[in-house]
Every structure is written in C-alpha cells, then in structure tokens.
Amino acid sequence: MIKGGKTVLITGASSGIGFELSKIFAKNGYHLVLVSQNEDNLKRAASDIRKQYSDAQITIIPKDLSLPSSPEEIFEYLTHKSIQVDILINSAGIQVYGPFNETNLEDDLRLISVNMLALTTLTKLFLKGMVERGYGKILNLGSTGSFQPCPLNAIYCAGKAYVLHFSEGIAEELKGMGVTVTTLCPGATRTNFAKRAKIEDIRLFKGYIMDAEKVAEIGYKALMKGKPVVVAGMLNKIMTSSIRFSPRGLVTKIGNYIMQRQTN
Ligand SMILES: NC(=O)c1ccc[n+]([C@@H]2O[C@H](COP(=O)([O-])OP(=O)(O)OC[C@H]3O[C@@H](n4cnc5c(N)ncnc54)[C@H](OP(=O)(O)O)[C@@H]3O)[C@@H](O)[C@H]2O)c1
C-alpha cells in the first residue's frame, strides 16, 4: 500500500509526453503509477526517473491497452493493493497513417481501442472514486487534430475530436464536485510518436515541432488550474482558433496537404 501523498496514474508513461509528465509529477512528490505496453521500456523509464528523483515512489504496470480487459485489470490491481488514484493521465496513443481504404483493419481497430476505448474506460473506472472523495484531476491527450478532419489520418483525428468533446462534456458535468477534466492538445511534438507511425517525413513533422518537455509543462499547469482545454504553443493556438472561422472544405484540404509526405 502506498502511504502519504497523492498518487498519479499515467498511461503512455514510458515515452514522450507521458514520460515528461511522469518526471514533473516525481519532482512534485507524487507517487507514480506508470502504465505502458512494453515492460522493459517502463522499467527504463522508472530507472531514469529514480536517477533524477531518488526518493520517487513508482509502481509499474505493463499492460496492452488495446486489449479490452486491460483497463479493468489495472483498476482491480490497484484496488487490491489499496492504491487510490487521485490524478489520471491518459497519454498512451498511437497513429495509423494512410488512406482509409488501404490501412489495415486490425491497426485501425487497435488505434480506436488505445486512443478512445481505454481512455474512456479508465476515466469511467477511476472517476467514481474521485467524485466520492470530492477530489480528482484527469488529463486526456487530445491534439490540434481534435479541431479538424485530417485526410490520411482520418481515424486518428476523429478519435482526438472524440477525446476533446468527451472530456469537455464531462468536465462541465463535474463542475462543483471537486473533480476537473483537462484536455491537452499538442501539435507536432518531438517524441517517438512519428517514428513509430513511420511519418517523420510528412509536412506536419517538417515544420514547427515542440519539445515534449515544454508540452508536458503546459499540460501540468493547465491540469493543476483545472482548465478544460489547453492547446500547446502559440502557433498551435492561432491555428486551432483560425479553423473555427475558416470554410470546412478548405480546412480539410489544408489537413490533406500537411499530412502528405515531403519527398525533397
Ligand atoms: N507527438 C506528437 O506529435 C503528438 C501530437 C499531438 C498529440 N499527441 C498525443 O500525445 C500522446 C502521447 O504521445 P507521444 O508523442 O508521447 O508518443 P510516444 O512517444 O510514441 O509515446 C506513446 C506511449 O504510449 C504507449 N503505448 C502505445 N501503445 C500502447 C498500448 N497498446 N498499450 C499501452 N501503452 C501503449 C507507449 O508505450 P510502449 O511503447 O512502451 O509500450 C508510450 O509510452 C498520444 O495520445 C498522442 O496521440 C502526440
């Protein structure tokens, strides 16, 4: 049983934005419950965090979040260990690139499972206790893609739109209950994400790219303030705001342009 301070559960904690958030929470004295698919990556992340914060209390849970049983297994494991989750960060996310008529159905469904189903189920499972205790914070990872349709990336952006609308909806329901829900919407960010999806050569990743550390800092501050939505970075803020006032057809065409591979 973890005693003392507050506990944060972070999915996708082994890499990128989730890893940077884990370090911020370690620095601020939280107990960390780190979840990702690959056990070796998680152990490496925990060891890197301990090198910087030697007294960090860390529990690792390797789970494949594309499996429907994983969120409940995580919840049951923590309940069994009497570990109460005060803050939930849903950062695990994957990408599938290409025209929808050509992508592999199994990959498409895996994306939906990790990016939407696991996020929703974990939120459902941990929210109940937070509401009962009158305290809790949830950070869900959206994207600048939450604000627009993206050809060649259609399920991903549709999924991120789901994350944003779902999170904003429940954030409003929870007002006055001591629980806040924040959606962090980064644009292109330097992590393993593009490499994993083999999309390092698309125009989006050839332009303005933020550091994961900065994005995590922005997310942490917004989460602590209980803001419903935060777009990371000024350029991304301008871009997502301008989408609201632009013709939808044009926005989709621009989305198609920035998702194309840049060959030269
Ligand atoms: N990077 C960007 O440009 C960008 C832009 C906008 C939004 N985002 C969003 O930000 C979030 C974090 O992405 P990132 O850039 O930090 O990516 P990343 O560096 O690739 O990290 C992804 C994390 O998710 C975990 N993960 C992947 N599949 C999983 C599965 N089936 N089960 C459990 N864990 C799994 C990975 O763990 P293991 O591989 O170790 O298992 C890793 O810890 C995602 O939701 C992404 O959509 C990223």
pLDDT in tens, 216-241: 999 999 999 999 999 999 999 999 99
Q: What is the pLDDT of residue 201?
A: 92
SS3 215: helix
**Confidence bin at 263 (pLDDT 50/70/90):** confident
Mean pLDDT of the chain: 96
Rounded Cα distance between 217 and 224, Å, is 11
Q: Could you state, in order of their start, the residue ranges of all structural domains in the chain?
A: 7-258
Centroid of ligand 1 to alpha carbon of 113 (angstroms): 13
Q: Is the CB of 14 under 6 A from ligand 1?
A: yes
Residue 229, phi then psi, degrees to nearest 5: -140, 140
Residue 216: partners with Cβ closer than 8 Å, 6 or more residues away: 17, 20, 21, 23, 24
Handedness of CA 3, 8, 11, 14 (dihedral sign): negative
Centroid of ligand 1 to alpha carbon of 184 (angstroms): 13
Q: Where are the alpha helices (DSSP H) in the chain?
A: 16-27, 39-52, 70-80, 105-112, 119-133, 154-173, 193-196, 212-225, 234-244, 248-258
Residues in the chain: 264
Per CATH, the architecture of 7-258 is what? Answer: 3-Layer(aba) Sandwich (3.40)
Give residue-wise pLDDT tens across range 146-173. Answer: 999 999 999 999 999 999 999 999 999 9
Centroid of ligand 1 to alpha carbon of 101 (angstroms): 24
Residue nearest to atom 40 of ligand 1 (CA): 38
User: 39-52 and 16-27 helices cross at what angle (nearest 10)?
Assistant: 40
Give residue-wise pLDDT tens across range 74-122. Answer: 999 999 999 999 999 999 999 999 999 999 999 999 999 999 999 999 9
C-alpha 64: how far from its chain's center? 15
Rounded Cα distance between 64 and 210, Å, is 27
pLDDT score of 1 more than 60? no
Rounded Cα distance between 58 and 47, Å, is 9
The DSSP code sequence of 164-192 is HHHHHHHHHHTTTTTEEEEEEE--SEESS
Exposure string for 196-225, b = 16+ CB within 10 A, e = fewer? ebebeebebbeeeebebbbbbebbbebbee
Q: What percent of the chain has pLDDT over 90?
A: 97
- Letter for the amino acid at 124? K
Q: What is the pLDDT of residue 110?
A: 98
Q: Quick one: which atom of ligand 1 is closest to the CA of 38?
A: 41
Q: How far is the CA of 179 from the CAs of 134, 136, 220, in angstroms?
A: 7, 4, 15
Handedness of CA 198, 201, 202, 205 (dihedral sign): positive
Q: Is the CB of 246 under 6 A from ligand 1?
A: no
Residue 202, phi then psi, degrees to nearest 5: -80, 155
The owner of tokens 């696991």 is 118
